Amino acid sequence: MASTTATLPATAAYPARPLRMTYDEYVAWGEQDGHRGEWVDGEVIVFMTTSDRHQRILNFLVTVLTNYLIRLRAGEIASQQFELRTREGAAREPDIFVLLNAHLDRLEKVRVRGAADLVIEIISPDSVDRDGRVKRAEYASAGVPEYWIIDPREGREAIEVLMLTGEGEYRPVEPDAGGRLASLVLPGVWADPAWLAFGDPLPDVIDLSLRMVDASRAGEEPA
């Protein structure tokens, strides 16, 4: 998720740097002028404008996973501007997260309270440490069973699919012979680093989602 610690110019409403406020103040801030960010232990992390590449990958994955979840009636998906409260004191807005049917009791009107089943973050230049280290530790501690870290930056293209172990730590999923990384939370779903190749068109989203649905039905339906 593209973001930065807030260093906004002082205003009558928000005079301090870095931007610190209560959660209620953060909610009010977010309702003004399209502000977007995350609130962590009283400090706001303001989201910067994302690149076209970031948005393209985001839209692609949201469409594929939405079609998959709808066809299998497997759960719900949220993308940005929907809060994930993995712990008290932290209001995150992941790029994408999925909540399976078995855990829909965690779904509230404007947030999910507790662990999502799958979280996906797309790295931007300013979020490398946050997505790769800080959120990795936070999501593992919260019990998020699967975490994808996608780096679409030119020359650094990579996808890491991480599964939570019984020791509460993430381990990377090994690619198959075709280089694809299988999801264990969503049977039949995979991540393919080839999606990040600059200049190459992304796969057809309908065809890809149907292939994933077929693969799921051939094995085990999501819980």
pLDDT tens per residue, range 57-98: 999 999 999 999 999 999 999 987 788 998 888 888 899 999
Does residue 188 sit in the same domain as residue 144?
yes
At 13 the pLDDT is 41
pLDDT in tens, 192-210: 999 999 878 999 999 999 9
Does residue 14 sit in the same domain as residue 57?
no
Q: Are 6 and 37 in contact (CB under 8 A)?
A: yes
172: domain range?
52-218
Distances (CA, A) of 98 to 80, 155, 201: 12, 29, 25
At 200 the pLDDT is 85
Dist. CA 143–CA 49, nearest whole Å? 29
Does residue 117 sit in the same domain as residue 169?
yes
Cβ contacts of 159 within 8 Å, gap of 6 or more: 148, 149, 150, 151, 181, 191, 192, 193, 195, 196
Does residue 19 sit in the same domain as residue 75?
no
In a domain, 223, yes or no: no
Low-confidence ranges of the chain (pLDDT < 50): 2-17, 223
Does residue 191 sit in the same domain as residue 213?
yes
CATH code of the domain covering residue 144: 3.90.1570.10
Q: Which residues pair with 160 in a beta bridge?
A: 149
Share of the chain above pLDDT 70, in %: 89
Dist. CA 119–CA 160, nearest whole Å? 12
At 33 the pLDDT is 65
Does residue 36 sit in the same domain as residue 98?
no
